[in-house]
C-alpha cells in the first residue's frame, strides 16, 4: 500500500508540475497571452470565448472547423522571417521593413477572443487581440501588419494552390491592416471566413504590431515589434453513408446573366432557362432530375459591414422540373415554389452563400419543404452569376436531427 500511495503522490506532483509549467508559459514569461473576455469593439460584440472546434453539417457531409495551425493558442513568432519581410517588400516597393531591436514587454498582447465558426453557410474564426503597453513599450504611430497564406484567396480566385499575400483592404496605400479593417492602435478584430462550407480550407496568418508613418504620410520605414503571433483556421468535410432521407444536389455549375447589377438596397434576381440537372438520391439510389426553369430573387440589405458583406434575404421564386424516373416510378413535370431564403454576399469579391426553402413533391407521394444551401460567385465585370455545383437540398427535419448543435451564438457572430 505504501508503494501505491507513493506512486500516486509522484503522479500528483508531476501533474502539479505540468500545470505549473502551463501557467508559467501563459503568464509572465510571454508577450502574447490569453486573457479571454467579451468586448464590443468597432460595433461588433466579441464572445470572449476560446473555442477550438465547431462541428457542422452540409447535406450529406459531416464537417468541422478547427483552429489552425495550433488549436491551443496562437504561436509566438520571435521576429519576422526573411520570407515575411520579402512579401512586404514585394507588395509595397519604396517602403522599408525592419525588425525591432528590442522586444515588447510581457503580457503586452492579450488574446481576448479566439473562436471557431462552423455552420452550413460560413466557416472561419473570430479573433480579437488587444495591445496593452507597459514600461518602455511604444505608444506612438502604432499599427498592425498581417500576412496570410490560404488555399482560397478572395477576389473570385476560388480554390487552388496556397497563396501568400499582405492582408490589407482594397484601395489602401499602406501595409497596415488597420487602415481599412477593424483595428486601431489598441485593438485588432478579424473574422476570416468563407461561404463554401462544404469545401476544405486552410487559412493561416502571422500578425505583428508595428510603428511607422501615419496613413497619408507616404512611404517610410516600418518597424515590426517583436514578437508577433501566428493563428488561423481550417475546415474539413467527409461524406456519410446510409442516408434515410431524399436529398438533391446540383451536378454542374450554372451561369446566369443578370438584368441589373446587384447592389445594397436592390435585388439579386437570378433567372435561368438553360437546362441544368439535379441529382435526387436516397441511400444508394439516384436519379437525374432535369430543371428546365429556375427563378430566385433576394432582397439585398443596405448595411455593409467592414468585411464588405451584406445580408441577402426574403428569398422567393420558382423551380420547374421535367419528367424523370426514380426506382421505376415515373414523375411528371412539376413546378415547385421557393418560399423563403437568406444568405450573405460580399459586394467587393462577389462571393455569395445562400439558403432557400423549396416545397417539392417526392417520389413517395409526400410533399416536403427542402432546404437548399450552397454558394455562388458574382462576376462584377461581366454582370453574371454562377451558382456553384456544391449546392445541396435536404429536408429541414433531417438536417435538424443530424447537425450537431452549438448552443452558443452563431447567429450573433455572423448575421
Q: How far apart are CA 67 and CA 58, in angstroms?
A: 20
Q: pLDDT value at position 400?
A: 61
Residue pair 96/222 in contact (Cβ under 8 Å)? The answer is: yes
Confidence (pLDDT) at 140: 96
- Averaged pLDDT in 10-residue chunks for the chain of 415 residues: 37 37 49 96 94 86 90 90 97 97 96 95 95 96 97 70 90 94 97 88 97 94 97 86 74 84 90 88 86 93 81 94 92 93 86 89 88 86 83 73 42 30
- Taking the whole predicted model, whether its pTM rises above 0.75 is answered as no
Would you call 4 helix, strand, or coil by DSSP?
helix
| pLDDT score of 243 | 60
**Pairing relationship of beta strands 221-239 and 96-103 according to DSSP bridges:** parallel
State the DSSP code for 152. E
Q: How far apart are CA 266 and CA 272, in angstroms?
A: 19
Q: How confident is the model at residue 283, as a pLDDT?
A: 77
What percentage of residues in the chain have a pLDDT greater than 70?
A: 85
- CB contact at 8 A, 354 and 341: yes
Whole-angstrom distance, CA of residue 62 vs CA of residue 195: 16
Listed in order, strand segments (DSSP E) in 174-275 are 187-190, 193-194, 201-211, 221-239, 247-250, 254-257, 267-272
Answer yes or no: are the C-beta atoms of 150 and 118 closer than 8 Å.
Answer: no
Q: How far is CA 99 from CA 44, 84, 105, 362, in A?
A: 32, 11, 16, 64
The pLDDT of residue 304 is 82
Which residues lie closer than 8 Å to 210 by C-beta, 6 or more apart? 142, 143, 144, 145, 176, 222, 223, 224, 225
Q: Which residues pair with 207 in a beta bridge?
A: 146, 229
Distance CA 25, CA 3 (A): 33
pLDDT at 395: 80
What Cα–Cα distance (Å) separates residue 256 from each residue in 230, 291, 295, 376, 408?
A: 40, 14, 10, 11, 37
How far is it, in rounded angstroms, from Cα 170 to Cα 163? Answer: 17
Sign of CA dihedral 195, 380, 163, 89: negative
pLDDT of 248: 87
Nearest by Cα to 316 from 342, 291, 335, 290: 342
Domain boundaries defined on the chain: 29-239, 247-405
**C-alpha angle 277-278-281 in degrees, rounded to nearest 5:** 140
Looking only at the bridges linking them, the beta strands covering 276-282 and 324-326 are unpaired
Find out whether 202 and 177 touch, Cβ atoms under 8 Å: no
Contact of 144 with 174, CB cutoff 8 Å: no
List the grid coordinates of 220: 517610410
**What cell was used for 336?**
415547385
At residue 104, the pLDDT reads 97
Nearest to 151 by CA among 136, 165, 134, 168: 165
**Predicted local distance difference test score (pLDDT) of residue 11:** 35
Q: Count other C-beta atoms under 10 Å from residue 273's C-beta.
A: 10
What is the SS3 assignment for 153-177? ECCCCEEEEEEEEECCCCCCCCCCH
Give 81's contacts (C-beta < 8 A, 6+ positions apart). Answer: none
- C-alpha grid cell for residue 95? 517602403
Amino acid at each position: 500500500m505504501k508503494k501505491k500511495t507513493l506512486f500516486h503522490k509522484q503522479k500528483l506532483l508531476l501533474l502539479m508540475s505540468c500545470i505549473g509549467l502551463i501557467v508559467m508559459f501563459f503568464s509572465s514569461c510571454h508577450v502574447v497571452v490569453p486573457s479571454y473576455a467579451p468586448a464590443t469593439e468597432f460595433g461588433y460584440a466579441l464572445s470572449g470565448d476560446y473555442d477550438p472546434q465547431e462541428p457542422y453539417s452540409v447535406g450529406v457531409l459531416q464537417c468541422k472547423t478547427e483552429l489552425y495551425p495550433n488549436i491551443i493558442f496562437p504561436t509566438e513568432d520571435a521576429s519576422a522571417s526573411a520570407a515575411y519581410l520579402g512579401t512586404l517588400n514585394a507588395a509595397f516597393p519604396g517602403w522599408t521593413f525592419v525588425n525591432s531591436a528590442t522586444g515588447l514587454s510581457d503580457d503586452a498582447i492579450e488574446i481576448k477572443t479566439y473562436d471557431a465558426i462552423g455552420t452550413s453557410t460560413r466557416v472561419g474564426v473570430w479573433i480579437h487581440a488587444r495591445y496593452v503597453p507597459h514600461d518602455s513599450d511604444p505608444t506612438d504611430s502604432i499599427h498592425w501588419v498581417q500576412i496570410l497564406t490560404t488555399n482560397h484567396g478572395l477576389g473570385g480566385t476560388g480554390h487552388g494552390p496556397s497563396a501568400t499575400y499582405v492582408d490589407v483592404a482594397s484601395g489602401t496605400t499602406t501595409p497596415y491592416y488597420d487602415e481599412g479593417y477593424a483595428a486601431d492602435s489598441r485593438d485588432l478584430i478579424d473574422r476570416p471566413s468563407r461561404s463554401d462550407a462544404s469545401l476544405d480550407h486552410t487559412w493561416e496568418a502571422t500578425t505583428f504590431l508595428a510603428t511607422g508613418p501615419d496613413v497619408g504620410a507616404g512611404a517610410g520605414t516600418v518597424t515590426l515589434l517583436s514578437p508577433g503571433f501566428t493563428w488561423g483556421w481550417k475546415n474539413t468535410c467527409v461524406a456519410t453513408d446510409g442516408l434515410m432521407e431524399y436529398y438533391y444536389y446540383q451536378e454542374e455549375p450554372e451561369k446566369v446573366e443578370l438584368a441589373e447589377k446587384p447592389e445594397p438596397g436592390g435585388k439579386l434576381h437570378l433567372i435561368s432557362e438553360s437546362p441544368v440537372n439535379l441529382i435526387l438520391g436516397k441511400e444508394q439510389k439516384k436519379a437525374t432530375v432535369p430543371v428546365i426553369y429556375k427563378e430566385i430573387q433576394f432582397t439585398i440589405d443596405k448595411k455593409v459591414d467592414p468585411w464588405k458583406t451584406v445580408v441577402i434575404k426574403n428569398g422567393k421564386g420558382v423551380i420547374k422540373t421535367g419528367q424523370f424516373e426514380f426506382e421505376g416510378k415515373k414523375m411528371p413535370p412539376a413546378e415547385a415554389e421557393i418560399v423563403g431564403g437568406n444568405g450573405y454576399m460580399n459586394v467587393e469579391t462577389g462571393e455569395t452563400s445562400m439558403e432557400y426553402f423549396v416545397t417539392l413533391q417526392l417520389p413517395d407521394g409526400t410533399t416536403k419543404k427542402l432546404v437548399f444551401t450552397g454558394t455562388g460567385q458574382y462576376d462584377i465585370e461581366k454582370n453574371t452569376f454562377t451558382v456553384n455545383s456544391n449546392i445541396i437540398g435536404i429536408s429541414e427535419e433531417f438536417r435538424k436531427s443530424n447537425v450537431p448543435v452549438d448552443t452558443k451564438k452563431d447567429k450573433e457572430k455572423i448575421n
